[in-house]
A and B are shown apart, each in its own frame.
Chain A
């Protein structure tokens, strides 16, 4: 199924959880924040939140800045 991830269309597995998506992307859950359709998903829900087709997902982390 298709979702929008960090501004780009992406093909992901049906029924994928946030946790699984992070694993597939090689991202550590402790170092990111996840927003789905304008809602922040809390870390303790990464295993239960299942992405839907057309979801807009943003994965953020800390980057260099002043």
Chain B
């Protein structure tokens, strides 16, 4: 059983098991309130060109760095070389040694290119990065990423932004048995029950963006997700009843009148 009280990687300890993205919110103040409501301690960010044409608000104006740990991603990268370049640039911005490593294989599904992902993981681990790779639900791949030195394994529940939930819970269970690393479901969460299901399976955490940012009320959804993660985790630790095909009565037949 994965019963560690906190989420640990890269020498840091976190109490919240919900990691939240900063993308796609209707506006920055909503994002800020949603992050607060979520209780997240880690938030993902992208690394992109500074806008030089006008002085626009900076994302960092809305994220208290004393409160949140930044997890830069390598979104938009299709090769190991590109992802490595972005990881190095992200580290240079100086906010984090952690990187959410994404190497995408296909624009329509945004599924990972696992071959390039593994290559990039090995190189970045050697350079001292704390690598959190976004991967699929293949337990063999999860084991290879662990062997390569990743700090966690982040299997997708369903395609990014699809809201389809945990499409293959059996594989997630096998991944949980295969690696000793923290397993964080990343991508596909659409509503609170999806997050709860991930935690009930025994996952160490859940990462989501669209599920919150795209909701009609992102702040309310962030609060719902926080509760779902806590409830799912507690249910897992409490030890659920087994699933059975037939009924077992909750009330004894004894003491019934004739």
**Residue contact B31 to A64, C-beta cutoff 8 Å:** yes
In the complex, A32 has a CB within 8 A of chain B:
yes
Contacts of A60 in B (CB 8 A): 47-50, 89, 93
**Residue contact B22 to A61, C-beta cutoff 8 Å:** no
**Residue contact A66 to B93, C-beta cutoff 8 Å:** no
Min distance, Cβ A34 to any Cβ of chain B, angstroms = 8
**Residue contact A66 to B209, C-beta cutoff 8 Å:** yes
Q: Given A40-B88, A61-B58, A61-B93, do A66 and B48 touch, yes or no (CB 8 Å)?
A: no
Q: Determine the interface band of chain B, counting residues with CB < 8 A from chain A.
A: 20 to 34
Q: Which of A46-60 contact B (CB under 8 A)?
A: 58-60
Report Cα–Cα, A40/B46, bound state, in Å: 17
Considering only CB atoms, which chain A residue lies closest to B161 in the complex?
A66
In the complex, A6 has a CB within 8 A of chain B:
yes
**How many interface residues does A have (CB within 8 Å)?**
25
Considering only CB atoms, which chain B residue lies closest to A5 in the complex?
B52
In the complex, B94 has a CB within 8 A of chain A:
yes
Report Cα–Cα, A27/B94, bound state, in Å: 15
Complex partner residue of B48 from A40, A42, A43, A61, CB under 8 angstroms: A61
Report Cα–Cα, A6/B209, bound state, in Å: 27
Min distance, Cβ B236 to any Cβ of chain A, angstroms = 25
- Render B35-66 as a binary contact track against A, CB cut-off 8 A, 1 for contact: 00000000011111110100100111000000
Closest 7 CB pairs of A and B: A65-B46, A66-B209, A66-B21, A33-B92, A66-B23, A62-B45, A63-B48
